[in-house]
Homo-oligomer: A and B are copies of this chain.
Amino acid sequence: MTSQTDTSAATDAAIAYLREHDAEHLAQLDEFLRIESVSADPARNDDVRRAAHWIVDELTSLGIEKATIHETSGHPIVTAEWVHAGGDAPTVLVYCHYDVQPADPLDEWIRPPFDPRHEDERVYARGAGDDKGQLFMHLKAVEAWMKTADGLPLNLRFFFEGDEEVGSEPVEQFITDHADLLRADVCVVSDGDTFDDDGTPAIGYGLRGIGYWEVKVQGPRQDVHSGQYGGGIDNPANVLVRMLASLVDGDGRFTVPGFYDKVRDLTDEEHAAYAALPFDEASWADETGVPAAMEGERDHPLLERLSARPTFDINGIWGGYSGEGSKTIIPAWAAAKISTRLVPDQDFREIEQSVKAHLESIAPPTVRVEVKTIHGGAPVVTPLDHPGVAPAVRALEAGFGKAPLFQRSGGSIPVVAALDAHLGLKTLMVGFANPTGNFHAPNEWMSMRNLRDGTVSLVHLWAELGAMRASDLSTD
Binds B, one of A2-10, A175-183, A231-239: A231-239
A238-B312, A324-B42, A327-B40 as given contacts; A222 in contact with B442, CB under 8 Å = yes
Please tell me if the beta carbons of B323 and A41 are within 8 angstroms of each other in the complex. yes
A439 proximal to B (CB < 8 A): yes
Q: Which residue of B lies closest to A438 (CB)?
A: B222
A402 proximal to B (CB < 8 A): no
Please tell me if the beta carbons of A317 and B295 are within 8 angstroms of each other in the complex. no
Q: Which residue of B lies closest to A312 (CB)?
A: B238
Please tell me if the beta carbons of B212 and A326 are within 8 angstroms of each other in the complex. yes
Q: Which residue of B lies closest to A230 (CB)?
A: B311
> What CA separation (Å) do A325 and B412 show in the bound complex?
16
> What CA separation (Å) do A267 and B335 show in the bound complex?
40
Interface mask (A415-432 → B, CB under 8 Å = 1, otherwise 0):
000000000000000000
Chain copies in complex? 2
Binds B, one of A21-29, A89-97, A302-310, A462-470: A302-310
Interface mask (A128-170 → B, CB under 8 Å = 1, otherwise 0):
0010000000000000000000000000000000000111000
Partner among B227, B320, B334, B337 whose Cβ is within 8 Å of the Cβ of A337:
B320
Partner among B130, B223, B318, B323 whose Cβ is within 8 Å of the Cβ of A317:
B318
> What CA separation (Å) do A226 and B326 show in the bound complex?
32
Across-interface contacts of A328 in B (CB, < 8 A): 101, 165, 210, 212, 315, 339, 411-412, 440
Please tell me if the beta carbons of B288 and A220 are within 8 angstroms of each other in the complex. yes
> What CA separation (Å) do A246 and B229 show in the bound complex?
22
Please tell me if the beta carbons of A248 and B244 are within 8 angstroms of each other in the complex. no
Q: Which residue of B lies closest to A289 (CB)?
A: B221
Q: Which 7 A-B pairs have the closest CB atoms?
A: A227-B411, A221-B289, A245-B245, A316-B320, A231-B305, A234-B294, A237-B314
